[in-house]
Amino acid sequence: MSELTHLDADGRARMVDVGGKPITRRVAIAEGRLDTTAEVVELVRSDSLKKADVLPTARIAGISGAKRTSELIPLCHIVPLDSVAIDFDFDEAAVTIRATATTTGRTGVEMEALTAVAVAGLTLHDMVKAVDPAASLGGIRLVEKRGGKRGVWRADA
């Protein structure tokens, strides 16, 4: 079990000590996708043409979610985020969510970017579920991270 850094030698959960790690600028980009119907994408997209609150609501939820990562994920550290931004894109029957989080600190912000995507996606789910109860949120994964000991990491395309 020693490969899982969040466990001690006896397999007990703990918050890993980051006190000895250097303070560096760190960036993480994550994305995910809400698979729904073409009808729902039409409703949500029109929001970026006309004046409606679907995407801003999901965006604010995602940004707020990123700030609460350490409350949601038990072994995450409290990270003072420098910035969070969330973008949406559209396929015929899917909304893509992309979040970028940065910090200047001792630990990375992968979980903050992933949490932003998940919470923004759940919020979209909430708003479309009366029309499409079968909507599915998926592909929540890290796309890129920079900073810290390992430098740059990018997901395979």
Candidates 85, 93, 96, 146: give the one binding its own copies (CB under 8 A): 85
**Terminal-to-terminal C-alpha distance of the chain:** 30
The residues, any chain, with a CB within 8 Å of residue 149's CB and separated by 6 or more, are 21
Residue 59 binds its own copies, judged by CB under 8 A = yes
The residues, any chain, with a CB within 8 Å of residue 73's CB and separated by 6 or more, are 111, 115
Q: Identify any residues that bridge with 61 across adjacent strands, giving them in sequence order.
A: none
Q: Which is nearer to its own copies, 49 or 92 (CB)?
A: 49
Candidates 38, 48, 91, 152: give the one binding its own copies (CB under 8 A): 48
Confirm whether 89 is a catalytic residue: no
Candidates 22, 38, 52, 152: give the one binding its own copies (CB under 8 A): 52
The residues, any chain, with a CB within 8 Å of residue 123's CB and separated by 6 or more, are 57, 58, 61, 62
Min dist. Cβ of residue 45 to its own copies (A): 11
Min dist. Cβ of residue 91 to its own copies (A): 15
Candidates 29, 76, 94, 109: give the one binding its own copies (CB under 8 A): 76
Residue 151 binds its own copies, judged by CB under 8 A = no
Q: Binding to its own copies (CB under 8 A): which residues in 97-116? A: 102-106, 110-111, 114-115
| Alpha-carbon span 57 to 95, nearest angstrom | 14
